[in-house]
Homo-oligomer: A and B are copies of this chain.
Amino acid sequence: MATSTLTKLATRVRYDILHMTTEAGSGHPTSSLSATDLLTGLFFGGTFRFDLDHPQNPCNDRIIFSKGHASPLFYALYAAAGVLSQEELLTYRRMGSPLEGHPTPRFAYAEAATGSLGQGLGIGVGIAMNGRYVDKLPYNTYVLMGDSEVAEGSVWEAAELASQYQLDNLVGILDVNRLGQRGETMLDWELETYEARFAAFGWHTIVLEDGHNIDAVQAAYGEIDHACGRPTVLIARTVKGKGVSFLENQDGWHGKTLKREEFDRAVLELGPIDLNLHGAIEPPVQAVPAVWAPVPVDQPVSAKALSPREAYGRALVDIAPTHPGMVVLDAEVSNSTFAATFRNAYPERFFEMYIAEQNMVSAALGFSTRGKMPFVSTFAAFFSRAFDQIRMAQYAMDRGNIKFVGSHVGVSIGPDGPSQMGLEDIAMFRTLVGSVVLYPADDTATTALVRQMADHHGICYMRTTRQDLPRLYETGEEFPIGGSKTLRHSDDDRVTLVGAGITLHEALKAADTLAAEDINARVIDLYSVKPLDMATLHKAAAETAVVITIEDHYAEGGIGEAVAAALSDVATPVFSLAVCKLPMSGKPEELLAYEDIDAAAIVRRVKEL
């Protein structure tokens, strides 16, 4: 496309940015204007290849607005491409409109939700890894980043992984407009420092001194080398608010919209605007995604009970033949989480993500947006490192189909001490809308629940216990999501003990002790922490005098509160035994006793009541 046409398109994009934000009364026009020429060039200059009629065409290039607050630009580009009308644009930020304040997949062309800064490049890493190593398709992935957001460490996690995996199908576009929300960025317009950083992280760098010169922009895209074995970053000097004299390079205009009279002035400055002018986007290079047909691996059932974490690794191998969309990611602890069992069987679908949990989760989301089902494992405690990324994955809606598995849960891991103990993972994953939280108490349950997770579309979390736990269930036992198992019951149960994982075994021991003293206790295995088996819990509450929950997790947001809330409409009291004191190093049994969550503590509590 001729430079003059691209320039005209950029002008119409600018008009739409100003128009929709003034109409909405909120939004980020100046952050959009700085990247307008870069993105207009990308979309309509022949670099970006996309089938607008089929946004899920697997061969499409992908674009992620990591600086999600530049959403007016994002939507204006699709208006310029002819797939959004002026009327639709003016629904920006209104309730029910797909054009949200920050992009989400309610808008069909948004790959994922952005708006928490520094996450887009990691999503791009996952999409690019999928293209290179899984689907084996020639598409490219572009990520628009702001300069403020590269202060986020997650950007550098993504950067190092991208070069480690030689993702030359990944392109970052860095909009260096010098101004953050409340003033100057750390690096101002020091393009050479950005260049040195990305180069040191193994990237091919292209520096563009004027990100508003359409010819220079086009020339820069021409320098991208998709065969150089390195990801590329285009580092462009831009002007925040570009195109409107009283906005350009001015502090104090971040996240502010123009009043009507300011808008009118701005439009006069833009010059002639042709809303009938549309740009064409190149179609994608068509190819066929690779098909994975893993050969089943024979894994006889172990005679000896395995730890849940070990059972997890074997279960991954078991399900591969029926779940060819799966990929497995781990943060440099696969020998502890037992994801290594899968890696050994199917190395082509295992990705080492090193000790960079934020990027691991964002990359998993990237895989997931491309229709893959990532299993993502690390120590449960370390998922807290990526809570923001996990939180954002839910806003990707049905594109966030990720299975999280956290090992080393609870004080019962023992001598390694509190830094390694997952004690808030249930609380964290329960907050997600529609999430599933599972907690198996033996290897049979683990195996069954891995398959349940794989067959359930959406975000799931499973916590796996480090220790060998006695086997409670025979092979073939079913564990539906939302179910529970009642392991002890009688017609005259006086108390209900609700456990999961390691505390279920303590509850069983306590029930045996109590039975010897003629106190019958019902024992429930609450393997599905979310959703809860409401019917069984209500029945137990109706049939016993008291319900006691026991969990190797902090009290807040854990099993106890979940059950208390579920039973808040019945008169039966619910008591919680949970981790309430700051833990320390020690032997597992010492720590369970210290926190009053072992069998002896349960017996004591029952007798008190």
Contacts and interface: CB of A to CB of B under 8 A. Distances in A.
A536 interface: no
Interface string A388-409: 1001101101000000000000
A74 B147 CA distance: 39
Given A160-B151, A182-B340, A428-B428, A561 B569 contact: no
A206 B556 CA distance: 47
A585 interface: yes
Contacts of A387: 384-385, 387-388, 424, 428
Interface stretch (A30-38, A80-88, A91-99, A492-500): A91-99
A118 interface: yes
Contacts of A153: 152-157, 356, 358-359
A565 B340 CA distance: 40
A196 to B, nearest CB: 4
Interface stretch (A310-318, A331-339, A446-454, A477-485): A331-339
Nearest to A330: B182
Interface of A: 24, 26-27, 68, 93-97, 100-102, 104, 106, 113-118, 148-149, 151-157, 160, 164, 180-182, 185-186, 193, 196-197, 199-202, 332-336, 340, 354-356, 358-359, 381-382, 384-385, 387-388, 391-392, 394-395, 397, 415-420, 423-424, 427-428, 430-431, 433-434, 530, 554-557, 560-562, 564-565, 567-571, 573-576, 580-582, 584-587, 590-591, 594
Contacts of A569: 573-575
A424 B393 CA distance: 14
Smallest CB-CB A-B distances: 6 pairs: A153-B153, A115-B419, A557-B557, A95-B586, A571-B571, A196-B200
Nearest to A185: B354
A404 to B, nearest CB: 14
B586 A96 contact: yes
A97 B564 CA distance: 36
Contact of A423 (B431, B557, B580): B431
Residue from the set A68, A100, A358, A565 with the largest chain B CB neighbour count within 10 Å = A565
A332 B585 contact: no
A394 B583 CA distance: 11
A557 B430 contact: yes
A359 B68 CA distance: 22
A114 B419 contact: yes
Nearest to A571: B571
Contacts of A332: 148, 151, 180-182
B573 A420 contact: no
Nearest to A581: B433
Contact of A101 (B420, B562, B581): B420
Nearest to A148: B355
Contacts of A113: 418-419
Contact of A116 (B382, B428, B433): B382
Given A153-B153, A160-B151, A416 B102 contact: yes
Given A153-B359, A384-B387, A573-B569, A106 B584 contact: yes
B181 A419 contact: no
B355 A118 contact: yes
A418 B181 contact: no
Given A102-B417, A568-B574, 8 more contacts: A93-B417, A116-B419, A151-B160, A182-B333, A182-B340, A385-B388, A433-B582, A569-B573
A420 to B, nearest CB: 6
A257 to B, nearest CB: 11
Nearest to A117: B355
Given A97-B585, A181-B332, A200-B193, A567 B568 contact: yes
A553 to B, nearest CB: 9
B354 A148 contact: yes
Contacts of A152: 153, 157, 355-356, 385
Nearest to A28: B416
A95 B587 contact: yes
Contact of A430 (B101, B164, B388, B556): B556
Contact of A415 (B24, B157, B384): B24
25 contacts: A68-B419, A95-B586, A101-B585, A113-B419, A116-B381, A118-B355, A151-B356, A153-B358, A180-B355, A182-B334, A193-B202, A199-B200, A387-B388, A395-B419, A395-B582, A424-B428, A427-B427, A427-B431, A530-B556, A555-B565, A557-B561, A561-B565, A565-B574, A568-B573, A569-B573
